[in-house]
Amino acid sequence: MNLKVAIAQIKIQDGNKEKNLDNALSILNFLKNQQIIPDIVCFPELFTTGYDLENLKMHAEEFPGETFHKIISISKNNFIVIGSIIESKNNKYFNTAFILGKNGQLLGKYRKVHLFSPMFEKDFLTQGNSIGTFKILELKNIKIGLGICYDLRFPEIFRKMALNGAKLIILPSEFPIPKSEIWKTLIKARAIENQIYMIGVNRVGKGRSNSFFGNSMVTNGNTHQILGSTEEIRIFNLDLTSLKEIRGELPLLNDRRKDLYD
């Protein structure tokens, strides 16, 4: 099975939700009008607001909110859209990744489990308490996993998603300069150790407190494709049948000593 996945490696203006959302919608319109329309379009972490957590009450949305409705007006019957925004629920706020389906319905959401202290997430946000693995019927029952940025440093949840059947894990991120080598190393490692496809979608440009290097990545552990450090929209073709071959050559998941560490 092949999947066409578009990565939107974009600049984000911290706090300017209207401009950021308009930019995302213009990208979706562009992709909708391409000769080859992707199955999935991926945006970075907090792609509508950036790290403007001091004003999160103004930016936050209950699901489904303004962002969803505007995306659906373009994405419906065309492609699945994945990204992360500020979610509000019962006077709590979450950094939440979502999967918005071609039918215009929310197929899955994941609230960031590991909150990043250096960017003050713990001061403003509530952590999630579940791991994000979702069966996507629109993509021939493929299971997709979701993580967000800092989660990349915690391999346990990626192993859990792989054991739950995820063949593809998508990671919306705002990984800052100067950590590009760490970013690339960890994405490759998560793909290699779980024999899955990893897609890391990173922001570029300058924020209020940090600058961001991009280097969005697609890898199945054997082959790696990496974007540069500027704004770019690129479509990748994922051959999911390659995972069967990779797992056949090395039955890594079957060779685990479950009696020792499960």
Long-range contacts of 244-247 (CB under 8 A, 24+ apart): 246/195, 246/220, 246/221, 246/222, 247/195
**Residues 95, 45, 102, CA angle at the centre, nearest 5°?**
95
CA 2 to chain centroid: 19
Q: Nearest 5 degrees, angle CA 218-CA 219-CA 225?
A: 55
CA dist., res. 13 & res. 207, Å (int): 7
Cα gap 38→55, rounded to integer Å: 34
Catalytic site residue from 112, 167, 184, 188:
112
| Residue 193 annotated as catalytic | no
Is the CB of residue 97 less than 8 Å from the CB of residue 112?
yes
Residue 249: other Cβ atoms inside 10 A: 10
What residues contact residue 41 under an 8 Å CB cut-off, 6+ apart?
Answer: 5, 6, 8, 27, 28, 31, 75, 79, 80, 81, 82
Q: Are 170 and 139 in contact (CB under 8 A)?
A: no
Catalytic residue among 45, 87, 121, 174: 45
Rg of the chain (C-alpha set) = 17
- Residue tagged active-site, from 17, 87, 121, 149: 149
- Report the C-alpha gap between 198 and 175 in whole angstroms: 15
Alpha-carbon span 221 to 198, nearest angstrom: 8
Known catalytic residue at 121? no
User: Would you call 112 a catalytic residue per the annotation?
Assistant: yes
Active site residues: 45, 112, 149
